[in-house]
Amino acid sequence: MEVLRDLDDCHPPARGSVVSIGAYDGVHLGHQALLARVGTLAGDLGVASAVVTFDRHPATVVRPESAPRLLTDLDQKLELLAAAGVDRTLVLHFDEARARESAEDFVAEVLVGCFGARAVVVGHDFHFGHQRRGTVRLLQSMGADLGFDVLGVALAGHGGEGEAISSTRIRALLAAGEVEAAASLLGRPHEVRGTVGPGDRRGRQLGYPTANVAVPPEILLPADGIYAGWYGRPDGSAHAAAIALGRRPTFYDGAATSLLEAHLLDFEGELDGEAAAVRFAVRLRPELRFDSADALVTQMAADVADTRAALAVRP
């Protein structure tokens, strides 16, 4: 997939493109169904498929007090768009100037000027441009004049349910710790990425060394608790892991933020300083406070056993 990060580098293909626009946070199954429509239409027309997205969630600029935490960072999003078969993606820098841009100017500059849109495919309730004045109806009106068709698509439901799959719905499931339900809408386990820091070595002292993963604050973590999941290393290997997410109440009183710790099963080696990708498969239990370190160690042994069972990993 070709990735463009500057409009000055973007020139419309001779035959044009089929384009979609959106934050595409999570690139969940609803997004994937929409992108499949983009790809099919592009194939029918013999043109490239394209996506316009942003380097941050637009809400962080237009309503920062209520901006959501993200399901994917930008690198993850681009990987998922490429996996969905998108040919070209333009990543626009979203700032105050972009937020003030009229919907009409956006269409002329980006959809036509950059991609030579032959067709535009968006969610049926899609809004864009200054004060969200751009709508499917406006796109259809402009398309009639500028030579592109518009398809407003209802995002797919799940399992016959009427409620559309949405990033908002997935965030609510993760906030409740329902990682399996979230995975069923994402089409994969929820994954967060960060860098392994030194931590306080308490896990090693207790016999269960952990990788302490610092996740950027804009990324959404599931509810505090103990999870079975997978830990991805830069070499591409994936390791079964018992994952603790929380404030460690047995040792710390009133910690301000949650800490993500992953104990890799059947692994020996140093992980400090590495990039890590942690995928949450199953929630095993809530975070608990124990009366002693010995009681915690006993529970940690049970958590590792439960992780093996949940992931079907033999010792």
Distances (CA, A) of 220 to 53, 73, 224, 267: 19, 10, 12, 27
| Nearest alpha carbon to residue 33 among 205, 114, 151 | 151
2-153 to CATH, choices 3.30.420.40, 3.30.930.10, 3.30.1050.10, 3.40.50.620: 3.40.50.620
pLDDT for 203 equals 54
Q: 89 pLDDT exceeds 80?
A: yes
| Nearest alpha carbon to residue 88 among 53, 112, 122, 120 | 53
Neighbours of 225 (CB within 10 A): 19
pLDDT for 251 equals 60
Q: 158 pLDDT exceeds 70?
A: no
For 43-82, the pLDDT digits (tens) are 999 999 999 999 999 999 999 999 999 999 999 999 999 9
| Nearest alpha carbon to residue 20 among 109, 110, 108 | 110
* Weakest-pLDDT range from 49-63, 177-191, 219-233, 289-303: 289-303
In the sheet that holds 149-153, the strands lie side by side as 2-4, 88-92, 48-54, 17-21, 117-123, 149-153
Model pTM score: 0.92
DSSP for the chain reads -EEE--GGG----TT-EEEEES--SS--HHHHHHHHHHHHHHHHHT-EEEEEEESS-THHHH-GGGPPPBSS-HHHHHHHHHHTT-SEEEEEPP-HHHHHS-HHHHIIIIIITTT-EEEEEEETT--BSGGG-B-HHHHHHHHHHHT-EEEEEPPPBSTT-SSBP-HHHHHHHHHTT-HHHHHHHHTS-EEEEEEEE----HHHHTT---EEEE--TTBPP--SEEEEEEEE-TTS-EEEEEEEEE--TTT-SS-SS-EEEEEETT--S--TT-EEEEEEEEEEE-----SSHHHHHHHHHHHHHHHHHHHT---
* Weakest-pLDDT range from 67-81, 94-108, 120-134, 283-297: 283-297
Q: What is the mean pLDDT of the chain?
A: 91
Give domain limits for the chain: 2-153, 189-311
Q: 200 pLDDT exceeds 60?
A: no
Q: 314 pLDDT exceeds 80?
A: no
Q: 291 pLDDT exceeds 60?
A: yes
Read off the tokens for 29: 């199954």
Buried b (16+ CB within 10 A) or exposed e, 132-164: eebbbebbeebbeeeebbbbbbebbebeeeeeb
Q: Any bridge partners for residue 226, and if so which?
A: 244, 285
Neighbours of 86 (CB within 10 A): 25
The superfamily in CATH containing domain 189-311 is: Riboflavin kinase-like (2.40.30.30)
Q: How confident is the model at residue 201 (pLDDT cuts 50, 70, 90)?
A: low
Rounded to an integer, the average pLDDT of 34-39 is 96
Round to whole Å and give the CA distance between 57 and 73.
10
Distances (CA, A) of 3 to 59, 72, 77, 256: 23, 17, 12, 38
Rounded to an integer, the average pLDDT of 104-129 is 94
Most confident of 78-82, 123-127, 205-209: 78-82
End-to-end CA distance of the chain: 40
Q: 249 pLDDT exceeds 70?
A: no
Rounded to an integer, the average pLDDT of 84-98 is 96
pLDDT for 81 equals 98
Contact present, 13 and 116 (Cβ < 8 Å): yes
pLDDT for 162 equals 61
Q: 168 pLDDT exceeds 70?
A: yes
Q: 159 pLDDT exceeds 60?
A: no
pLDDT for 265 equals 96
